Amino acid sequence: MLKFTTDHEWVRVEGDVATCGITDFAQGQLGDVVYVELPAVGAKLAKGKEAAVVESVKAASDVYAPVSGEIVEVNDALTGEPALVNSGAEGDGWFFKIRLSNTGELDGLMDLAAYKAHTGE
């Protein structure tokens, strides 16, 4: 299941773990990504709260937790190669994996059609 937030994060849910990152639309708006700050494994995040930071040649942007839960894994590859966000925002450029604490929060997120309408794509 793939869902999106109005803040341009995506969530791919497998069981009770969601892989999260920023959308291809978002990385296109940011431009060349030069730095990514990831949350700590074990951190507990609330939906809508700051989870990570992404910096590009244009701007720095917060990445928000699309769902509540505990961070179980981060994409360490982004530390050495932040440009993975540009080349594969919705693939190899994922940010973190979070164990869902409230699956009901997924109901408030958009599907692909709604997200495309939201961005005007």
Would you state the pLDDT for residue 4? 98
Residue 79 CA to residue 8 CA, distance in Å, equals 21
Are the CB atoms for 105 and 47 separated by under 8 Å?
yes
Q: What is the distance of C-alpha 63 from the center of its chain?
A: 6
pTM confidence score: 0.95
Residues of the chain falling short of pLDDT 70? none
The DSSP annotation for 61-78 comes to EEEE-SS-EEEEEE-THH
Residue 121: per-residue pLDDT: 82
Domains of the chain: 2-102 (2.40.50.100)
The confidence score (pLDDT) of residue 32 equals 97
Residue count (the chain): 121
